[in-house]
Amino acid sequence: MSVSLPSKHRIAVVGLGYVGLPVACAFARSGFDVVGFDIKTGRLTDLERGVDPTGSVTPDELKAAKLHFTGSAPEMSDCNIFIVAVPTPVDQAKRPDLTPFVKAAETVGSVMKRGAIVVFESTVYPGATEDVALPALEKASGLRCGSDFEVGYSPERINPGDTERSFSDIVKIVSASSDEACDVLCDLYGSVVTAGIHRAPSVKVAEAAKVIENTQRDLNIALMNELAVLFHTMGIDTRDVLAGSSTKWNFLPFQPGLVGGHCIGVDPYYLTHKANEVGMTPQVILAGRGTNEAMPAFIAGKIIQACVKLGRKMPPRIAVLGITYKANVPDTRNSKVVDLIRELEEFGAQVVIHDPLADPSEVQEEYGLSLSTLTQAKGADVVVLAVPHHAFFEGGDAWSFISSLKGDGRCLVADIPARLERNAVPDDLVLWRL
């Protein structure tokens, strides 16, 4: 017996972060009746006031969406489409932590009715939707997939901080537990995604397609990081090498750097977890992860060595600019700048951190670190440009800004993203870049 799928949809979006909120707004602006659900009361309060601290939607977009926000699951009971967009992190041992994923499924299961379609957007390993989320849905609802409801998987592809590609501008992969449900979801997403729909042949295929996107990026960056370590040993500037190689049409323009965040630095562990479950050791993926995880220690060591060569007092006072995981977003989840700070502190360095975008309370709660004002960051022996926020380049003279933070004598500037103009270094500053 197949599920009777209604033609009129009321949508619930579970999880209103970087992924869920743009999705909810897109559907609401297109005329759908949308309920936005989140367990964080502070988040709901901000959204009710028309403020999105993540910056993933503008105040005008939020106002135009006319969403109903709630932290009460029963308020989703009239919905027949549930889109789950909750975090899927890893634990301290780098194992998948599916707790939010399962709890979201249980919450949806407690309120959904026959005819519902539950589609997951969270990044997981192949099989997680059907093997983990589906049993939780059935247990909480007392319903059965295939006869009472259907599940789908449509992985998120939102790139936080990207002003050129929004949710609607990125091709959407869609899959479901039945052809009929997939038809419904393709039509549904197709009504708001202008870039097009890619219909995957199964839920597992869609899950795999997503998780390897970021695994591929992780491995490409790992190669660049390994090359950076090699070229530093040889006294060659890595960016000069890449500038030359990039003149060939098929050379991929990846750059070395700190690989953190909730995607590239996490997703490969979901894939390796599943590989281990089926008896395979994913050597290439793990090698790439190991290389990227080692970069904070490498950079910290180079900074301290350069300080010694400059004759700076030891331990040095170091001003770190930026603590978010990438430029121009306030998200600090799995930031490898934090790992760099820990490594510098292991050398005894006094580290002060300035980031105009990060939430000081979140940084304190998550990492036990305090953010400083620019005034408090002055008098540094070393300035580390860790995250190239636009705010650090306002006015067009980044070197003057960095010079204002230095103390007496020559100051080391560690430019991790290589964004500072190399030919304009002031005489009292010494540049090191990855």
Active site residues: 263
Q: Report the interhelical angle of 203-234 vs 295-310 (nearest 10°).
A: 20
Query: Is the separation of the CB atoms in 56 and 94 below 8 Å?
Result: no
Peptide bond into 282 cis (omega under 30): no
Distance, CA of 219 to CA of 225 (rounded, Å): 10
Task: State the Rg of the chain over Cα.
Answer: 24
Q: Are 109 and 137 contacting, i.e. CB atoms less than 8 angstroms apart?
A: yes
Tokens representing residue 121 in the block: 């957007």
- Distance in angstroms (rounded) separating the CA atoms of residues 297 and 117: 46
The helix (run of H) or strand (run of E) holding residue 296 is helix 295-310
Looking at residue 311, its amino acid is: G
Is 417:384 a contact under the CB 8 Å cutoff?
A: no
The CA distance from 103 to 132, in Å, is 11
List the structure tokens of 286.
Answer: 């793990």
Number of H helices, E strands in the chain: 16, 13
Contact indicator for 410, 430 with CB cutoff of 8 Å: yes
Work out the burial of residue 345: count CB atoms within 10 Å of its CB; fewer than 13 is exposed, 13-18 middle, 19 or more buried. middle
The tokens describing 363, both together, are 């940084």
Minimal CA–CA distance to 155: which of 212, 71, 81?
A: 212
Residue 384 half-sphere exposure toward CB, CA atoms < 13 A: 32
Residue 262 to residue 362: CA distance in whole angstroms = 15
Q: Alpha-carbon distance 119 to 82, whole Å?
A: 6
